[in-house]
């Protein structure tokens, strides 16, 4: 009798487990780089966006809404499978929150959902051609925040600066690289071997408007910055002569990783 009951209940147990797993997988995979997600559109419908990993660590750094590979919106404080803060103007502060429910549906809100939300009060606005223009947080179709229009119209290249021009030192040096832009900074790319950095594989990329590098051995630091439109600055360069050590980089990305290069 016990065997019969067990066999009768086993399909039900497996079905429930599969049912639960389907929902868990939908939210867990939602923030993976390369994934195309659907954002709520003002007036109804959705706007597609692609998760982009700029730093090469396998974690999404932001959302690309026009398909050029550059995320106009940066992620801050990403909690994979649940929510992330959104930085729309590159100033390093959260403007909105993006959350996902257990079915993989995305929501935008002005408040922190602190988990898997099931609704939101923000939507992406678009023009008559379907191009994203900004955001609406008043349950209408008007543009409350036109940051996306500003980004797409940006023809001004960003500028870069550093707090340390290089030289000869007897101890490790901390260098802060900064981006400045008339609309929104996006990322910084740099190398410590004197080669020309880029955003397609050479050097280290840090999302946001600042990157801090600790130079503990002789190195030639070169860097460029990029804005949210994809405009690039001219390259900066500083030469350092320091006895021994290595270069350690701290960025303002999702998890704050540290990379060493001799």
2-57 pLDDT tens trace? 444 444 444 444 444 333 443 344 677 789 999 999 999 999 999 999 999 999 99
Q: What is the pLDDT of residues 134-191, one digit of tens each?
A: 999 988 899 999 999 999 999 999 999 999 999 999 999 999 999 999 999 999 999 9
Q: What is the pLDDT of residues 87-119, one digit of tens each?
A: 999 999 999 999 999 888 999 999 998 877 778
User: What mean pLDDT do residues 211-232 have?
Assistant: 97
Residue 118's pLDDT is 79
CATH, residue 207: 2.60.40
Is 6 a member of any domain? Answer: no
Is 17 a member of any domain? Answer: no
Residue 249's pLDDT is 53
Phi, psi of 175 (to 5 degrees): -120, 130
Q: Are 52 and 127 in a shared domain?
A: yes
Residue 117's pLDDT is 78
Q: Are 121 and 164 in a shared domain?
A: no
Give me the DSSP letters along the chain. Answer: -HHHHHHHHHHHHHHHHHHHHHHHHHHHTTT-TT-EEEEEBTTSSEEEEEEE-SSSSSS--EEESSSSS--SEEEEEEETTTEEEEESSSSSS--EEEEE-TTS-EEEESS---S--S--SBEEEE-TTS-EEEEE-SSSSS-SB-HHHHHHH--SPPEEEES---EEESS-EEEEEEEE-SS-EEEEEEESBSPPP-SSSSSEEEESSEEEEEE-SSEEEEEEEEETT--BPPPEEEEEEESS--EEEEE-SSS--EEEE-
User: Global pTM?
Assistant: 0.81
Q: Are 128 and 223 in a shared domain?
A: no
Of 122, 153, 184, the residue that ends a domain is 153
pLDDT band at 80 (very low <50, low <70, confident <90, very high): confident
How many CB atoms sit inside 10 A of residue 94's CB? 17
Is 36 a member of any domain? Answer: yes
Q: Is the pLDDT of residue 82 over 60?
A: yes
Residue 12's pLDDT is 44
Residue 137's pLDDT is 94
Q: Are 145 and 164 in a shared domain?
A: no
Buried b (16+ CB within 10 A) or exposed e, 163-178: ebebeeeeebbebebb
> Do 223 and 233 form a contact (C-beta atoms < 8 A)?
no
Is 145 a member of any domain? Answer: yes
Q: What is the mean pLDDT of the chain?
A: 86
User: How far is residue 191's CA from residue 207's CA, in Å, rounded to a whole number?
Assistant: 15
Tally the domains of the chain.
2
Q: Are 194 and 97 in a shared domain?
A: no
pLDDT band at 244 (very low <50, low <70, confident <90, very high): low
User: What mean pLDDT do residues 207-214 have?
Assistant: 96
Q: Are 98 and 135 in a shared domain?
A: yes
And the tokens for 104?
A: 């993989």
Q: Are 147 and 163 in a shared domain?
A: no
Q: Are 53 and 103 in a shared domain?
A: yes
Is 21 a member of any domain? Answer: no
Q: Is the pLDDT of residue 208 over 90?
A: yes
Of 153, 179, 198, the residue that ends a domain is 153
Residue 58's pLDDT is 94
Q: Which domain holds residue 209?
A: 159-261
Is 16 a member of any domain? Answer: no
Q: Are 32 and 149 in a shared domain?
A: yes
User: What mean pLDDT do residues 201-226 have?
Assistant: 96
Of 102, 122, 153, the residue that ends a domain is 153
Q: Are 132 and 221 in a shared domain?
A: no
- Estimate to the nearest angstrom the gap between the alpha carbon of 101 and the chain centroid: 20
pLDDT band at 226 (very low <50, low <70, confident <90, very high): very high
Residue 28's pLDDT is 74
Q: Are 90 and 131 in a shared domain?
A: yes
Q: Are 147 and 187 in a shared domain?
A: no
Q: Is the pLDDT of residue 262 over 60?
A: no
């Amino acid at each position: 009798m016990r065997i019969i009951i067990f066999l009768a209940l086993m399909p039900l147990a497996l079905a429930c487990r599969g049912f639960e797993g389907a929902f868990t997988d939908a939210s867990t995979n939602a923030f993976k780089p390369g994934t195309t997600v659907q954002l709520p559109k003002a007036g109804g419908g959705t706007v597609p966006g692609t998760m982009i990993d700029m730093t090469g660590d396998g974690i999404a750094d932001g959302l690309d809404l026009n398909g050029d590979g550059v995320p106009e919106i940066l992620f801050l404080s990403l909690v994979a499978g649940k929510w992330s803060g959104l930085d729309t103007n590159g100033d390093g502060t959260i403007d909105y929150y993006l959350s996902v429910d257990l079915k993989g549906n995305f929501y935008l809100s002005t408040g922190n959902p602190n988990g898997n939300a099931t609704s939101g009060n923000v939507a992406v606005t678009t023009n008559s051609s379907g191009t994203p223009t900004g955001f609406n947080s008043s349950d209408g179709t008007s543009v409350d925040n036109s940051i996306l229009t500003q980004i797409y119209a940006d023809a001004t290249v960003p500028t870069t600066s550093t707090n340390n021009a290089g030289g000869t030192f007897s101890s490790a040096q901390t260098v802060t690289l900064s981006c400045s832009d008339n609309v929104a900074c996006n990322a910084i790319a740099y190398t410590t071997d004197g080669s020309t950095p880029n955003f397609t594989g050479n050097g280290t990329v840090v999302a946001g408007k600042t990157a801090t590098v600790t130079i503990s051995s002789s190195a030639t630091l070169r860097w460029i910055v990029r804005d949210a439109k994809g405009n690039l600055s001219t390259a900066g360069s500083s030469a350092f002569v320091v006895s021994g050590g290595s270069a350690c980089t701290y960025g303002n990305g999702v998890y704050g990783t540290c990379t060493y290069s001799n």
